[in-house]
Amino acid sequence: MITAIRDAWVITQDPQRRILRGDVVIDGERIVSVGGEYKGSADKEIKASGDVVMPGLINTHTHVAMSVMKGVVDDIPFPEFLDKVFKIDSDRTDKDLDIGTKIGCAEMMRSGTTTFVDLYYSEDVIAKAAMEAGIRGVLCWCVLDEEMTTQKGNPLQNCKRFYDSFKEKRKIMPGVGLQGVYVCGEETCRGAKEFSDEKKIPLTFHLSETRGEVNEHRKKTGKRPAEWLNDVGIFGERSIAAHSAWLTLNEVRAMGRAGMSISTCPTSNMKLATGGVAPIPEFIEYGVNTTIGTDGSTTNNSLDMMAEMKTLGLLQKSSRWDPTVAKAQELLDFATVNAAKAIGMQSSLGSIEAGKYADIVILNGGSPNIRPLLPENMISNIVYSGSSSNVKTVICQGDIVMEDGRINTIDEAEILSRSEEMWRSLCLR
Q: Name 424's Cβ contacts closer than 8 Å, sequence gap at least 6.
A: none
Q: Are 24 and 11 in contact (CB under 8 A)?
A: no
| C-alpha–C-alpha distance, residues 313 and 383, integer Å | 9
Task: From 85, 87, 91, 175, select the one nearest 127 (Cα to Cα).
Answer: 175
**pLDDT for residue 84:** 85
By the 10 Å C-beta count (0-12 exposed, 13-18 middle, 19+ buried), 417 is classed as: exposed
| C-alpha–C-alpha distance, residues 367 and 389, integer Å | 9
**pLDDT for residue 287:** 98
What is the dihedral sign for C-alpha 306, 342, 126, 264? Answer: negative
| C-alpha–C-alpha distance, residues 398 and 349, integer Å | 12
The DSSP element (H or E) to which 344 belongs, if any, is none
**pLDDT for residue 245:** 97
The DSSP secondary structure of 291-323, one letter per residue, reads: EE----TTTSS---HHHHHHHHHHHHHHHHT-T
pTM (2 d.p.): 0.97
| C-alpha–C-alpha distance, residues 137 and 173, integer Å | 6
**pLDDT for residue 429:** 61
Q: Cα dist. 78→150, 219, 242 in Å?
A: 21, 20, 17
| C-alpha–C-alpha distance, residues 137 and 201, integer Å | 13
| C-alpha–C-alpha distance, residues 261 and 287, integer Å | 9
For the beta carbon of residue 369, count every other beta carbon within 10 angstroms. 11
Task: From 46, 133, 52, select the one nearest 379 (Cα to Cα).
Answer: 52
| C-alpha–C-alpha distance, residues 378 and 414, integer Å | 37
Domains, the chain, in order of start with CATH, read 2-55+354-409 (2.30.40.10), 57-342 (3.20.20.140)
**pLDDT for residue 150:** 83
CA angle at residue 351 from 245 to 331, to 5 degrees? Answer: 30
Backbone phi, then psi, for 238, in 5-degree steps? -95, 0
Taking only the tens of pLDDT, the chain with its 429 residues reads 999 999 999 999 999 999 999 999 999 999 999 999 999 999 999 999 999 999 999 999 999 999 999 988 899 888 888 888 888 887 888 999 999 999 999 999 999 999 999 999 999 999 999 999 999 999 999 999 999 988 889 999 999 999 999 999 999 999 999 999 999 999 999 999 999 999 999 999 999 999 999 999 999 999 999 999 999 999 999 999 999 999 999 999 999 999 999 999 999 999 999 889 999 999 999 999 999 999 999 999 999 999 999 999 999 999 999 999 999 999 999 999 999 999 999 999 999 999 999 999 999 999 999 999 999 999 999 999 999 999 999 999 999 999 999 999 999 999 999 999 888 888 776
| C-alpha–C-alpha distance, residues 46 and 302, integer Å | 29
